A and B are shown apart, each in its own frame.
Chain A
């Protein structure tokens, strides 16, 4: 009677390409198949995310923004993986994937409009900050606060793509990818999704950002097994663990996962990117309450995804201190300029209160709209309608 116990099995190893000095971890392997332009773009994208995060955190503290979530420490996870996905692939994510939006085409204006909820927000000012609606530009489904619900959505999208590929075999096939954290992976939707994906052979990539925390809950209190990667085999899903602070490892792993996901019509792949959540969970959290500053500092210096790629670029003569200073300064200026511009825009028209619940307004919604209009016109001093595009006429 041989019970299988966790201690019988070695922990799943972590894939790495580049060491912390910015050199190949294995000097005998080929350099990553990444052009200089690509690497520079990635670095600038990571810098943009990092600076945007830093500024918007402060902006929230100043009361100019209701809420924000920083993704410090995970810039390589998001930028590197997004860089490896196809331009028409569809993504569902959690809320700490700013780098995905940046890498897939969001401009600073695309970030700022929803953050301040102005009339340029595709999401029409409905969702909280960092819950971006950007499907047309980036292929990412609008973000929800509910954890894990996005995981089976990617499975369904992948199934649609599998059917699409059968009907149009000459077109480039697509995959769906979902991002979720180590905490979200405890939700039932994770389990249901992996089972559905495996039994239906869906071309889907499950990307876990294991950053060590779910708000204040460290992974030692989140699960007993060997991280999230170990769960793959239980569902019949191939899995890989990767150093999430090494952008080349992240890129290569995602690229390979995508290749595998499209094999034989489709199959799911699970990648676990290991990193550390340098920031607080959100602006509503003070993580010093549950972890030491020393711990944060050691990750910030020892496993910083930005400094690691920077060293690589400098080692290859592609970057220097002057460029760093100038780029940082330019990004900072651009962020602040976009923020000011965004804040001066009006809020979305009031019709956004009732539109899009259904494809067409229901009879009752029309009646309620009239009632709301009546109240707003009866008590004009009580409602700031002019801050909305079109004022009361926009209802």
Chain B
């Protein structure tokens, strides 16, 4: 089993060399915050037999081992082939550098369909809006989610309101898809690590989605580009571009953009997350279920950030009575706040514990501190221990005492 930890031990032990790794991290007896082993995580399909666990993935037909950028590349190729309206543009898209999602597409489809643009996010998104308004399906790429902000006006004031202000003319930019990679990678620091999804959810108009895996990404992207009548913001967790590798059906298939998915069943607690932190949650659940006899934790992949699948989430908490939401971006005013408020509004009397959010601390993701800021396995695991979140069932008479404890 490969791990950074094992590599560090080998290099200092056998060669007696002083080595400095910029990502030197863990104490050697860490048990929870070990690097995620993507080759064994239950969240990925290591074998196409497990496709049956996921709605929309068919075991008929060939499948291929792909990582996230390869599955995105595959999906983009299918859409460019399927529909002449599809365009793919952005900075460095022609060579597909940095993340390689658009590799070889210009060679196959030509410069008219796949092209580089000048360095102007506002120009890129504004142009895409105009093209979508006239029937094209522009799939534009923002190099890092951190750089989307020059286009924020075009996104919230123009694309989000386009159909609404056109009204009866039917004018819309439903063909628009904006792809961007959010999330920490360990060394991205302040400007290569941000997760701005909640900012786009506070003005309605877009479908904001985030796939957890290559197979999810392909189906959701095909759906976003070929079928969505609303513009889509498609967040591809950048660390998963290379890290997440699994079997992906080779054929074209679509997955819904408005459904959350229960990726692991449980009865005592519901954890809701999306993107990269799902893997952290999965590891924390594994550890908790190993350490606490009878603990049974349900894990939901939100997938659709907004509009989100309230029914799936609320049905789950109806059953478990406890919820934790986990996301990378700062805890305040984030996706967790929206979900927590909705849960307590709908299920107050069914709750056995306050709804908790495990998210980035209220600070920026400084280079040397990222691993302390972004939620890790230990923090998600720890929630099981906190007095306000005990797995012991709460009796009616104790409910008020517990609420009082949690205030402040």
Contact = CB atoms under 8 A, between A and B. Distances in A.
Contacts of A163: 84, 87, 112, 136
Interface in A125-171: 126-127, 131, 133-136, 141-144, 146, 149, 151-161, 163, 166-167
B168 interface: yes
B123 A192 contact: yes
A183 interface: no
Nearest to B120: A192
Contacts of B315: none
Given A123-B165, A160-B134, A191-B120, A142 B171 contact: yes
Contacts of A134: 169
B164 interface: yes
How many residues of A sit at the interface, in one of the four size bands? Answer: 35 or more
B123 A189 contact: yes
B115 A200 contact: yes
Given A90-B134, A141-B133, A363-B307, A189 B167 contact: no
A193 B124 CA distance: 8
Interface stretch (A207-215, A283-291, A354-362): A354-362
A82 to B, nearest CB: 18
Interface string B119-149: 0111111111111111110100000000000
A146 B171 contact: no
A126 B112 contact: no
B130 A176 contact: yes
B163 A144 contact: no
A196 interface: yes
B153 interface: yes
Nearest to B166: A142
A199 interface: yes
B49 interface: no
A149 B153 contact: yes
Contacts of B171: 133, 135, 141-142
A125 B169 CA distance: 13
A156 B126 contact: yes
A192 B165 contact: no
B150 interface: yes
B134 A161 contact: yes
A127 B165 contact: yes
A122 B167 contact: yes
Interface string B256-300: 001000000000000000000000000000000000000000000
Nearest to B113: A163
B128 A156 contact: yes
Contacts of B230: 358-359
A126 B167 contact: yes
Interface in A358-377: 358-360, 362-364
Contacts of A189: 122-123, 126, 153-154
A138 to B, nearest CB: 10
Interface of B: 84, 87, 112, 115, 117-118, 120-136, 138, 150, 153-154, 157-158, 161-169, 171-172, 174, 204-205, 207, 229-230, 258, 307, 310-311
Chain B interface SS verdict (over half)? helix
Rank and list the top 6 A-B pairs by shortest CB-CB distance, nearest first: A192-B123, A156-B130, A152-B126, A359-B229, A153-B130, A156-B131
B126 A356 contact: no
Contacts of A133: 165-169, 171
Nearest to B311: A363
28 contacts: A122-B166, A123-B168, A136-B169, A142-B171, A144-B158, A144-B165, A156-B130, A156-B132, A157-B131, A157-B133, A160-B130, A160-B131, A163-B87, A176-B134, A188-B122, A189-B126, A191-B120, A192-B120, A196-B118, A199-B117, A356-B163, A356-B166, A356-B167, A358-B207, A358-B229, A358-B307, A359-B230, A362-B258
A149 B126 contact: yes
A121 interface: yes
Nearest to A167: B84
Contacts of A149: 126, 153-154, 157-158
Interface string A177-194: 000000000001101110
B198 to A, nearest CB: 16
A86 B120 CA distance: 30
A195 interface: yes
Nearest to B158: A149
Interface in A331-352: 352
B229 A364 contact: no
Contacts of B157: 144, 146, 149
Most buried by A among B123, B130, B136, B310: B130
Given A144-B161, A151-B126, 12 more contacts: A90-B134, A134-B169, A153-B133, A156-B132, A157-B134, A158-B130, A192-B121, A195-B123, A196-B117, A356-B164, A356-B167, A357-B163
Contacts of A167: 84
B182 to A, nearest CB: 23
